Chains A and B, each alone.
Chain A
Amino acid sequence: MTAELYLGLISGTSADGIDVALVSFDTDAVHLSSCRADVRLPAGTA
């Protein structure tokens, strides 16, 4: 079975940035393929 790719995004309650994870799901494994953190939410939201 081919692994399925999903993206997960959340803006942290602490750093007030955006964490992004590209995750590969295999039949019996979860693998974080790639990730990045951006700190660029609009002014006034932090």
Chain B
Amino acid sequence: MHAQSLPIDDFGEIDAEIGEAFARSALALLAEAGVEPAAVKALGSHGQTVRHRPSAKHPFTLQIGDPNRIAERTGISTVADFRRRDMAAGGQGAPLVCALHAALFSAASEPRAVLNLGGIANFTLLAPGQTVRGFDTGPANCLLDAWALRHLGRACDEGGAFAASGCVDGVLLRELLADEYFARPLPKSTGREHFHLAWLDAHLVRHASLAIADVQATLLEFTVCSIAGALAQHAADTRRVIACGGGVHNARLMQRLGSALAERLGHACVLETSAAHGLDPDFVEATAFAWLARQRLSGLPGNCVDVTGAVGPRVLGAVYPA
């Protein structure tokens, strides 16, 4: 969602409608699985982010999808509003998946990083004997998808084939990588409020003659360079990167990432998906919000303070009883 303004009546209706859609999806999955709602202890709903402004004068983050409706329709206690407590404690409110990454993917034998390739890319850095760190690196799929939708009429550039048909423009690439976000110190997080088509269009004014496939190729390389550069800067000894999120299906992106990681780190680095560790890469984030709901009901913190920058561990989320 990237509307600059929305009437309050429309906002309220969309909030309700998304809550209903979430409830239908939950019930559909339970029906498929043959599981009764009563067998589910709780449901963790992230909702749909409509704004994430951690650097505003009064920082805020806003997710919609009315949890009251989810609890009412499913009969399952619902935990929602996970990000705002961390932000109230001085954190970025993101990324929140790092604690689950640490629980599932840490190894005493080697420094690892978990790379989530959603709309935005984020790393969780898992170094033996050190606290968990993490941050958003910048765009993963958001610009690639937006450009493909505008010019191909498709939701994404499947497999990165369109990008592979173009040539990277080095000048545009350098200009994109010069964005101030990449120089910010940790902790940091970002979203489509920052990296969106209007942001790209402003850069393209000086590159009007570029073929659309060349722009797609450059955007893919932009994602690759920002990710590999961030890892080289913050965890150069990483030996294994475990990727998840929709971007793992972009074969061109994964191929270029594998090469760029070895090149920027200066040593061999395995790039694999979370499937190698038994977790479907498309559902790591959804799994994380189930885990966060469990943390909430157990009265345990859900944030990693070295990731979000919060002043301390916090129990995240509000409970809407069944």
Contact = CB atoms under 8 A, between A and B. Distances in A.
B44 interface: yes
B280 interface: yes
A29 B153 CA distance: 42
Contacts of A8: 43-44, 46, 285-293
B111 interface: no
Interface residues on A, range: 20 to 34
B168 interface: no
B154 interface: no
Nearest to B290: A8
Contacts of A19: 282-283, 285-286
B26 interface: yes
Mostly, the B contact residues are: helix
B234 to A, nearest CB: 22
A20 B25 contact: yes
A35 B286 contact: yes
Given A6-B291, A8-B289, A10-B46, A18 B41 contact: no
A6 B33 contact: no
Contacts of A40: 21, 25
Contacts of B118: 12-14
Contact of A22 (B35, B247, B293): B35
Interface of B: 1, 3, 10, 14, 17-18, 21-22, 24-26, 28-30, 32-33, 35, 39-49, 65, 70, 76, 100, 103-104, 118-120, 140-142, 145, 155-156, 191-192, 245-247, 279-280, 282-283, 285-294
24 contacts: A6-B42, A6-B290, A7-B29, A7-B43, A8-B291, A9-B43, A9-B70, A11-B65, A12-B118, A13-B118, A14-B245, A18-B22, A21-B287, A22-B29, A23-B290, A30-B100, A30-B104, A30-B291, A35-B280, A36-B25, A41-B18, A41-B48, A42-B14, A45-B18
